[in-house]
Amino acid sequence: MLSNYIEQIRDAASRLLPETIQIRRHLHAHPELSFEEKETADFLAEQLSAAGIPFTRNWAGHGIVAEIRGEGSHWIALRGDMDALPIHELSDVPYKSVRAGVMHACGHDVHSSCLLGAARILHSISHIRPLPVNIRCIFQPGEEKLPGGASLMIQEGVLSNPKPEAILAQHVYPSMEAGKVGIRPGLYMASTDELYITIRGKGGHAAMPHECNDVVLAGSQVVIALQQIAARHAPAAIPTVLSIGKCQTDGGATNVLPASMRLEGTFRTMDEAWRRQAYALIQEIVTDTCRAYGCTAEVNVERGYPCLVNEEKLTQAVKVNMVEYLGEQNVVDLPLRMTGEDFSFYGHHIPACFYRLGTRNEARNIISAVHTPTFDVEEAALETGMGLMAWLAISCLPGAR
């Protein structure tokens, strides 16, 4: 019975925790930006080699794929991302980033450490008793940057030879206490497109605006007008967000009206058909608004990650096995999120489930959100993360039970 594996996995996770904490701290102190993760990959490859786990390298640049063989023909994939963010860390901890302006502020050091821990657990158990499935461990680069390491690894064949029946991933969740996990079947996270808008007019002296075509005024109206996308054009039942986060001009003085202005932002929604429809509306609104002020505009919508959907049957099976491993009180239902994740690409090819790992500890003031310079995690969560991932790998495929 599969339940006989639980205590083995729990014991192994507890035993590996101190070492896994040190691995996570090493990764945290030596972060690398998206698609630059060479030292991270070298370090993880050393750890896999030391554990005797076979792997291949250089997927999508610096990605690693390790495999643990079990009995039969069933395959499942586990994914952990490796890249960091361009943020200067402010936390005063011994494992603070040694690279100014680069930080593991989204927990990818935790994700890689937990995946490595899960792989070590499963590999060690496989020498004692056969596993009911074969496991592919995907250490993925470039989650934080388009086109996303997931899309590139898929293009290179990470989901083939043989094709896994499902893929799982976990992500730190600083609003949830360590020891708990969260899950949501079906639609969970938004698509993420990037907006780049350049407005051109006629610059001149600010004291003579009648001789100019004011790109700042036009751009200000564009920012306001684009809110029609979410407020008036989006179907009421479809969550939609459009935000402009950056405005720049080529001007440099208070009495100069610049000749061009650049706007950058994000468009996010939870319906792929409406997403495609919105592209034309964004173009139309920007062009017509600028024309009214005597200006022209170039609009580039850079297509990002698709909506993240947790396949219903797989996710229900994952939840049942989460409860078996952690207890019902430690498994939480999650709300929708307008954030995005390139893990969504995998779900367009095979059943996928993306769940959350609680990392909060208010008593130790570990409460900062991801993508902030003071982000950190309660490291006891690593025991939950690697143990649960190992258990789910062998328990959530119905055909392998």
Q: What is the pLDDT, as a whole number, of residue 172?
A: 98
Q: What span, in angstroms and rounded, lies between the C-alpha atoms of 282 and 277?
A: 9
Q: What is the pLDDT of residue 23?
A: 98
The predicted-structure confidence for 354-376, as pLDDT tens digits, reads as follows 999 999 999 999 999 999 999 99
Mean pLDDT of 153-173: 98
For residue 347, is pLDDT > 90? Answer: yes
Q: Are residues 133 and 152 in the same domain?
A: yes
pLDDT of residue 315: 98
As a whole-number percent, the residues of the chain with pLDDT over 70 amount to 99
Of 250, 277, 305, the last residue of a domain is 305
Catalytic positions are 83, 143
Give the confidence band of 250 by pLDDT, cuts at 50, 70, 90.
Answer: confident
Q: What is the DSSP string of 76-110?
A: EEEEEE--BBS-------TT--SSTT-B--SSHHH
Q: What's this model's pTM, rounded to 2 decimal places?
A: 0.94
What does the pLDDT read at residue 11? Answer: 97
HSE at residue 221, side-chain half, CA atoms within 13 A, is: 17
What DSSP element (H or E) covers 271? none
CA-closest candidate to residue 66, choices 135, 163, 130, 124: 135
Q: Which residues are within 8 A (CB) of 224 and not within 5 positions of it... i.e. 6 or more apart? A: none
Same-domain pairing of 168 and 197: no
- Shared domain check, 393 and 379: yes
Q: Which of 239, 270, 305 is the last residue of a domain?
A: 305
Selection from 280, 328, 331, 334 nearest residue 308 by Cα? 334
Residue 187 to residue 2: CA distance in whole angstroms = 29
Q: Are residues 86 and 143 in the same domain?
A: yes
Q: Are residues 68 and 206 in the same domain?
A: no
pLDDT of res. 61: 97
Strands 352-360 and 166-177: parallel
364 lies in the same domain as 266: no
Assess whether 356 and 369 both reside in one domain: yes
Q: 166-177 and 75-81: which strand pairing?
A: parallel
* Enclosing domain of residue 197: 192-305
pLDDT at 142 over 80: yes
Residues 301 and 385 both lie in one domain: no
Beta bridge partner(s), residue 358: 173
Q: How many domains does the chain have?
A: 2
82: confidence class by pLDDT, cuts 50, 70, 90: very high
At 115-125, the pLDDT tens digits run 999 999 999 99
Query: For tokens 């650049």, what's the residue?
Result: 262
| pLDDT given at position 401 | 61
Tokens standing for residue 69: 């063989």
Tell me which of 236, 270, 305 is where a domain ends.
305
Q: How many CA atoms lie within 13 Å of 253's alpha carbon, on the beta-carbon side?
A: 8
CATH code: domain of residue 239: 3.30.70.360
Task: Tell whether 258 and 330 lie within a shared domain.
Answer: no
Instruction: Spell out the residues 6+ positions from residue 361 whose beta carbon is closer than 8 angstroms to its own.
Output: 177, 178, 367, 378, 380
Q: What percent of the chain has pLDDT over 90?
A: 96
The answer on pLDDT for 399 being more than 70 is no
The pLDDT of residue 4 is: 82
Q: What is the pLDDT of residues 313-328, one digit of tens each?
A: 999 999 999 999 999 9
Could you tell me if 233 and 368 lie in one domain? no
What is the per-residue pLDDT for 398?
75
Give Cα separations from 165 to 22, 280, 305, 352, 400 (angstroms): 33, 37, 22, 9, 10
Residue 258 has pLDDT above 70, yes or no: yes
Q: Count Cβ atoms within 10 A of the Cβ of residue 276 and give its class: 0-12 exposed, 13-18 middle, 19 or more buried.
A: exposed
The whole-number average pLDDT for the span 128-135 is 94
Distance (Å, rounded) from C-alpha 178 to C-alpha 175?
9
Is residue 215 domain-shared with residue 275, that is, in the same domain? yes
Is 158 found in the same domain as 61? yes
3 pLDDT higher than 80:
no
Q: Quickly state the pLDDT bin for 224 (edges 50, 70, 90).
A: very high
CATH of the domain at 370: 3.40.630.10
Residue-level pLDDT at 400: 66
Beta bridge partners of 149: none
